Structure 1
Amino acid sequence: MKKIGILTSGGDAPGMNAAIRAVVRKGIYHDLEVYGIYNGYQGLMEGKIVKMELGSVGDIIQRGGTMLYSARSEQFKTEEGQQIAIQQLEKYGIEGLIVIGGDGSFQGAAKLTAKGYPCIGVPGTIDNDIPGTDFTIGFDTALNTIVEAVDKIRDTATSHERTYVIEVMGRNAGDLALWAGLADGAESILIPERDQDFDEVIDRLRRGHDRGKKHSIIILAEGVGNGIDYGKRIEEATHYETRVTVLGHIQRGGRPTGFDRVLASRLGGKAVDLLREGKAGKMVGIQNNQLVDHDIIEVLKQPHNVDMSLYKLSCELSI
């Protein structure tokens, strides 16, 4: 293999630039030509392909987002769109492709692999919802963004003796909410993976209020429901002054943490190794701090599971 491509797809995540840098520089180190594909699969179909040099990825390891930009493409999901993408790959002589993104991006990589173009998936999403890896690129940075925000909200919650409901991202996974709730000492953590009775949440609020607690923090994963609606229900049930904060896309931005930079560099480097070894249709990941790889199709069949021992601990500590 002499030429490889790299693209980022789906939602951006802090650390993607570090992964791009690792792929480009490790590829060049091993005498490969590396081509950056802009705007994800849509850009691939449109031929937005540029040969990368060492300097192309200089001074990006500390930047959030993705220098290759990202986009979602309905056209690529069609047979016609995939054939157009293949024609572009053939035009540039690209023999292997590294895709950084989440499960939707991996589905695209699997389809191209099935059509004869070796692809390797690198998990990049703040949701941490990809099976086969303990952590995805961007999760740690997003977690720290949430923790910092909640710390600040707690100050005003204390000053005004209010209950705060904080809605965080995560799509259909509760990892961000669970980890942030445990890190911030939230009274209740609401995640899609566990049904929590509303009365249980109210009882916990009242117990805290009765023993003189001046404020309460409730972390709500977006996969559970709407934070504004949930806050109204709490205020109606308790008559405690309740405010809602929806953190939104602030969670996807910002300078990646050291952990995410190292993780992204390791995963990007491993992806290059797999292509050089002639492997295809694989996803790289990290488990027990060891680099691993799995078949993408098999990974996509697996359900995502949160660490319920963390949830149990959070309940025990928020009595």
Structure 2
Amino acid sequence: MPQFEGTWRLSVLAAEAAWPQRVVVTGGIQTVVAGQPGRVEVLRGRRWRLDFEHDPGGGWRPDDRVLVEPRRRDGNRVSTVIRCKDRDWRHDRAPNDLVVRLDAARHAVRVRAVHALREGSGRSTSVADALRRPGDWLLVFEAEHTGVEPFDYDLSLALSGPTRTALAASGIEIWPDGRSARTSQDVDEDGAVLMPALEVGTAHRLSLPISVRGSSAPSRWEFALMRAGRVVETTELVVGPEAGHASVPADDDGATPVRAAEPADLSRGAVAGSSSRAWPYGAAGRA
């Protein structure tokens, strides 16, 4: 049966069958998805598999045939279609009793705030608390690979242009005094932290020096995963008092599920996913 890992969006495209259909997910995820056209389920976990079943009356049985199409890649997106035949009949062998599509980001991250260290004292506190206290801080984040294909050494992570603009407006300077050399990490000329090769489901910690001169930092931060100066995918992190109350379902630590960046007007400082346009670094500050 088809096996997957990472975060995939499963959509039921069609169900042309006389019997009820369903998808049983086992392994790193345990759930059942009803075979009803229009049904959508986000599946996230380490190494899970799909089994396709039908109920002819008297209990669920495995389908006779499950056909998995080759994966198609388009930029940072990957997808596959699975067609099922519950029972092969002499007069009907078309694999259309249940048809589902799975879509995913090849490379994506989920960012979590770990803690903040006050420079010179070693004092540790939460990132949200540090943003309310003037001074120089080192913010520590953890970026988990939630895509479906391993990272190579060609990706970096940065704060988005709108987030840098909002931080600068509230009196927070990113990478003050060229302190990138003191963080023991690789940082490119635009302030993006270079990511190591990561397997799906593994994580990497990174640090971000800041200088706080105000007390009204934005609570929602957008991070951009980048390749060669172009945005691959974005994710949002809630670091302030709104944590756990994001506009999309939030996990316990306030990090919203990784999402694909939609095409947007970069002239307004927005982020475009899988864009061929260069990332707009500039007056907003380095991140």
TM-score band by shorter chain is: 0.3 to 0.5
The TM-score normalised by the length of structure 2 is: 0.34
> Which structure shows the higher strand fraction?
2
The TM-score normalised by the length of structure 1 is: 0.32
| Greater length-normalized contact order (CA 8 Å, ≥ 6 residues apart) | 1
> Which structure shows the higher helix fraction?
1
